[in-house]
Structure formats: C-alpha cells, structure tokens
Amino acid sequence: MIITSTFTYEVILLLSSMIILGLFVGRWFEHFNIPNISGYITLGILFGGLLVYLGYTELNNVFMVITTIAIGFIAFIIGMELDFAKIANRRKEVIIITFFQAMFTSIITAVILWVFGLPLHIALILGTIAIATEPGPILLITKKFKTKGPLTETLVPLHGVEDMISIVLFGLAIAYAYAVESQTPLTVFGLLNGPVFELLFSVGIGVIIGLIFRQIIYLTLYEDPDKDTIVMVTTTVAVLVAIAIAQRGIHLFGLHIHLSPILLPMVVGITFANLSTSKAKHEIEHDVDVFTAPLMIAFFTVIGAEVVILMTQDQLPLGLWLIILYTVLYIGFRVLGKLLGSSVGAVVAKSEPNISKYLGLCLIPQAQAAIGLAFLAQAKLKDYGDYGQLILVVVLIASIIYELFGPWGLKYALIQCDEADSQVCSIMDAQVYKRRQKKHKN
C-alpha cells in the first residue's frame, strides 16, 4: 500500500512516468499507422492492471480529477473553435445532423436492449448515454492533422448541440427510471426539472465566466510585457473555475442543480471566441495548445487506467454472459445508430456527400462523458437492485473498446475526405515507409 506521507509524490512520479511513456508509445504506434491515442489508451490499460495488482486502486480518485480537468480544457478549446460568423452557413446543417444522429443512436440502442430483455426504463438510460461522443480524440486528431474542410466544420461544432440533447434526454430517462424503480408518481415538474435546469444554468454560468474572462483580456494592453503571462493565467483560471462549478453544482432554494462538465466550459470558450478579436483568440489558442499538450497525453493514459480500476471495484451484476450480451449489443448498435443517423441527417440537411459517408465514423469514440452519466445513473438507482451497476459496467467495458478503435475511424474519415494537411500526412507516411523498409532489410 502507499505510505500516506508520500502519497502526493507517488502520484506525481506515476503521472510523470505515464506522460513520458505515453509520448513515446504514441509515437511508436504511429510508426505502424495506428493513431497515437490508441497507444495512450493501451498504455493506460496496462498501467491500470499493474495498479490493481499492486493494490494502488485508491489512485482512481486522483485519476478522476485529472480526467475532469482535461475534459474541461478539451471542451473549452472546442468552444473556441465555434466562431458563429465562420459557421453561420452550417448552423442549420449541424443542428439537423446532430438531431438525427442523436435520435437514431438513442432509439436503436434502447429498442435492441429492450428486445433482448432489459426493462424499458433501463434500456432508455443506456440509449441516452449512447448519444455522448468523446470530444478528446476529435480535438487531438483534427489539430494534429491540421484538418480543414466541410467534414471538420460540421464535426467540431456538433458537440455543443449534442451535449444539449444528451443532457435533456438523459435527464428525462433517469427521472422516468427512478419513478418506475421507486414506484413513485411521475410529475411533469419532476420530469423536466433536472435536465432543463442543468442546461439553462450551464449555459448561463458559462456565459458569465466567458464575459469576465473576455473583459480581463480586453483590458490588457498588447504592449504590456506581462501580457503572455496574464493571458495564460486568466485562461487557466477561467477554465478551472468553470470545471469546479460544474462538478460542484449549485444550490438554489433548497434544490441541488447538476451542471454539465462539458457544456459549461464549452460555453466559456464560445462566449470568448465570439466576443473577442481574432488576434486575442489566436493568442489564447496558441497558449492553451502548448499548455495542454502533456495534459492530453495524461488524459488518455489515465482514462485507460481509470476504466480498468473501476471495473475491478464492482462485482458483475446479473451474470457474466448477460453482461457480455448487453455490452456487445450496446457497442454494435450504438455504432450503427451513429452511422445511420449521421447519414440520414446529412441527406436531409443536403450536406456534401463526404459528410453523409464519413461523419458517423468520426463519432464512435466514447469515454469520460458517458462514464460520468453512467455514474449518475448508478447513484440514482443504487437502492433499487443491480440495474444501476449494470449500466456502469456496460459503459465502462464499451468505453475501452470505443477509445481503442474509435480514433481509427476518425483518422480514416478525415484522410479519405482530403481534409488532413497533405504535408503532415506526407511526413507520417514517410515515417511508416522508413520503418517498413528498415524491417524488410533486417
């Protein structure tokens, strides 16, 4: 076991090792034309197994803090990309496609799970969780390959709309499931209270933080010798405050309101991006990209370790074979829903053929956001049988599969659409070629 007095330093040593090893494992994976994210996740899974074997499972609480902070910065950066002036011609298209892919994914997943024996209210919860897409791989790969084009312009802003839909539908599903399990009457106020308040307050608080953040940067003179420091510190504090408020929630008239850890920091980024000059926006994007580089590696390695540790802390409910069945169904039909829903939505929105053909492949990754929703479901249903635990276990196992293989589809789609920077692709192709040539000579 870890000695209490050295716990902090043990954590620092472990994280440092994971980051530096993750850097080289990710690069090594790329030599075989495998996304570096898959390398980070694989390393994390190995670390997680080692930590479980050594009895260091209490580190999972620290891992949750790291992934929460990372997902907040990811959401903020995505929000910074949502310049309404630039995506004005795609606004309607994004809303239509997001709605179709969300509804197709949710309905198809829920119906299949219900047909195969899950109660309808539990199937509906898993169906709404299936909507969530992990923004981390999208952010990392689009920036790495410097992608630009219709698919990227549709993909990046999609998360803001998707998170709103996910919050509302999950809130409705969990309220219905709780009423069924607890055998209490379901009122309209109880049905709408959680998701509506979460959505409204997440957006409202995000706008307020964004306005304060923008004002501080606005009042800083470009000639100020400490400008870079002020920009970096202010940006970091704004995102951390958004993350902290989202995780803490707010209390209003005796009512505790959950907030979205993705939507709130994303709105901070959206507010700043649309009320600031392009020069200020560019400076902040540059500073945040440099600052978050090691954080992104830590995020994906830690997710792999976190999922392994969480799985060992819960006994499998309902039996192993049923867990395998429901997990396979959830994985397979969520992917089908994403592919089919995106394609139909793109046709309805009259999008470019490449969007209809490839967008669904970009939406497969799923991890932290879905895990967070699964934990909420488990907490809400913990006093009413094994179904809350079942939801969590299915989502945890599925997250490993999605995070390992999802980036492949994302990378493939962006390259097939010719949206990846040709120079970046040429360099990476050259690395793969040299690797194969060296192996052939040996």
The model scores a pTM over 0.95: no
pLDDT score for 110: 96
Q: At what angle do helices 60-81 and 368-381 cross, to 10 degrees?
A: 120
Strand partners, 250: 257
By CB neighbour count within 10 A (0-12 exposed, 13-18 middle, 19+ buried), where does 355 fall? buried
Instruction: Specify whether the CB–CB gap between 400 and 307 falls below 8 A.
Output: yes
| Strand, helix or coil for residue 250 | strand
364 versus 34: which is more confidently predicted? 364
Q: Kindly tell me if the per-residue pLDDT of 205 is higher than 90.
A: yes
Question: Which of 67-76, 151-160, 199-208, 355-364 shows the lowest per-residue confidence on average (mean pLDDT)?
Answer: 151-160
Query: What tokens were used for 70?
Result: 């990372």
Instruction: Specify whether the CB–CB gap between 412 and 147 falls below 8 A.
Output: no
Query: What tokens were used for 227?
Result: 């400008």
Instruction: Specify whether the CB–CB gap between 157 and 81 falls below 8 A.
Output: yes
Residues 6+ apart with CB under 8 A from 174: 125, 194, 376, 377, 380
SS3 content of the chain, % helix, strand, coil (to 5): 80, 0, 20
- CATH code (residue 283): 1.20.1530.20
Taking only the tens place, the pLDDT of each residue in 250-292 is 887 777 788 888 889 989 998 988 888 777 777 787 778 777 8
pLDDT score for 126: 95
User: What is the C-alpha separation between 97 and 77, in angstroms, rounded?
Assistant: 22
Burial 166-201 (b: 16+ CB within 10 A, else e): bbbbbbbbbbbbbbbbeeeeeeeeebeebbbbbbeb
pLDDT score for 434: 54
| Residue corresponding to tokens 């803090």 | 65
The number of residues making up the chain comes to 442
User: What is the C-alpha separation between 49 and 301, in angstroms, rounded?
Assistant: 12
| Longest Cα separation, the chain | 73
Domain tally for the chain? 1
Question: Which of 186-200, 301-315, 359-373 shows the lowest per-residue confidence on average (mean pLDDT)?
Answer: 186-200
User: What is the C-alpha separation between 105 and 84, in angstroms, rounded?
Assistant: 27
Taking only the tens place, the pLDDT of each residue in 328-382 is 999 999 999 999 999 999 999 988 888 989 999 999 988 778 888 888 888 888 7
- The DSSP line for 164-216 is HHHHHHHHHHHHHHHHHHHT----HHHHHHHHHHHHHHHHHHHHHHHHHHHHH
Residues 6+ apart with CB under 8 A from 356: 342, 343, 346, 347
Count CB neighbours of 420 within 10 A.
23
Question: Which of 109-123, 141-155, 183-197, 251-265 shows the lowest per-residue confidence on average (mean pLDDT)?
Answer: 183-197
Q: At what angle do helices 36-54 and 7-30 cross, to 10 degrees?
A: 140
Segments forming the whole domain that contains residue 86: 4-441
Taking only the tens place, the pLDDT of each residue in 379-401 is 888 777 778 888 888 998 898 88
pLDDT score for 381: 83
Tell me the H-state helices in 314-421: 320-348, 353-362, 368-381, 387-416
Question: Which of 120-129, 154-163, 262-271 shows the lowest per-residue confidence on average (mean pLDDT)?
Answer: 154-163
| Residue corresponding to tokens 């312009």 | 153
Taking only the tens place, the pLDDT of each residue in 404-426 is 888 888 888 888 888 877 666 66
User: What is the C-alpha separation between 175 and 377, in angstroms, rounded?
Assistant: 10
User: What is the C-alpha separation between 126 and 371, in angstroms, rounded?
Assistant: 11
Instruction: Specify whether the CB–CB gap between 341 and 360 falls below 8 A.
Output: yes
